[in-house]
Structure 1
């Protein structure tokens, strides 16, 4: 007798639905102002409304959709701009966290090295979710090492874990590139050059803002050259 496969936990299913909706919104399949109906989405995904509702709640926290009383949930305009804005703010926060942690000598290098190895293992197995978790852990360690509660609260308020997953879905980023980028960032932290490490921390996030210019005012084309 063939054993029935275990059902996915609701949170995992909600996350899968969230990522699928993100891909549909970013690709334009669901356009600005389009209504997302729970019952229809539940039917599409072959599930109950509970995980769909959970997924929509996460998207609303990330400002990708908005819920209007007695009307429903709608895709927000300017979704790409919302993602860009979050990375510009995050760049400033992580540059400051890097400066504070380096000045205090509290950067947890060994733990961050383990995070990079976790990203490497995730890249080898093609596990995007594990890569995202390790990336968030890496950056959270720097923020916590800054020992500034308001900075940490603001950083967490950006819904970092969810936005990291969104970026990976939206940009189809290469998991091996994630390993390389974080290894370079860790090397900058270990190098001990305060200004270089802070600049690297800022540029690492600014890259994902996908603006026509970098943090130094150079156009993307000239910055790449």
Structure 2
């Protein structure tokens, strides 16, 4: 029998329900193919159906659930594997984007500094959503600076903001760590260190692929920092 979560306070209820369901889906406490019934979820969380419906709508945008006509809403299969695959693809795209942007000399450094400052403020406030927005903005600035439309469309097609939100909920990422990682990447970009910046851009994403080895083929247990 599926373990039921504790009831939540009413503040930002739909967002809390969404995050609770994300955690349960990624941890497989809600299994692939399992039906999510609004009335049952509303009773579980001690609320009306409206915030539950809003939460399910956001989960569908994230592609964690799917609504089938006249049948209901169901947990999509292979959520964890899809997340892993998306980060491997994203790592390759962002490594290339970083290389193109630096070679073209068009990296918007001031905008990246503002994004890092926003991440730092979000970390201080414990605001996960603000951290997600600033992180996505940081990487989008680099992708757009690459001036390669096909690369940009491929990157946007990965639904970056939605997947980043899922990762933040599922892995309890430390917001201060996110700020530090982006600040380090920015420092390599400002220094004009092409290869180091490209490697950092790739490894930053590969870390979240949750594979037994890193981008260099080293086992996670023995990988250096």
Higher mean alpha-carbon deviation, 200-209 vs 113-122, is at 113-122
Stretches of structure 2 lacking an aligned partner (at least 5 in a row): 1-9
Deviation at 1:145, TM superposition (A): 1.1
TM-score (ref. length: structure 2): 0.87
Tell me if the contact between 2:212 and 2:220 (Cα under 8 Å) persists in the aligned partners.
Answer: yes
CA distance in 1, matches of 2:163, 2:109: 24
CA distance in 1, matches of 2:53, 2:156: 22
State how many pairs are aligned: 216
Tell me if the contact between 2:61 and 2:162 (Cα under 8 Å) persists in the aligned partners.
Answer: no
Tell me if the contact between 2:122 and 2:130 (Cα under 8 Å) persists in the aligned partners.
Answer: yes
Stretches of structure 1 lacking an aligned partner (at least 5 in a row): 1-6
CA distance in 1, matches of 2:150, 2:50: 33
1:160 match: 160
1:76 match: 76
Higher mean alpha-carbon deviation, 107-116 vs 42-51, is at 42-51
Deviation at 1:115, TM superposition (A): 1.1
Q: C-alpha deviations, 1:170-210, integer Å up to 9, x for none? A: 11111111111111111111121222211111110000011
2:66 match: 66
CA spacing shift, 1:141–1:214, aligned 2, 3 Å: same
1:110 match: 110
CA distance in 2, matches of 1:15, 1:108: 32
CA distance in 2, matches of 1:37, 1:109: 47
TM-score (ref. length: structure 1): 0.87
Q: Secondary structure at the match of 1:224?
A: coil
State whether structure 2 residue 213 is matched by structure 1 residue 185.
no
Q: C-alpha deviations, 1:138-180, integer Å up to 9, x for none? A: 1111111112222222222222112111111111111111111
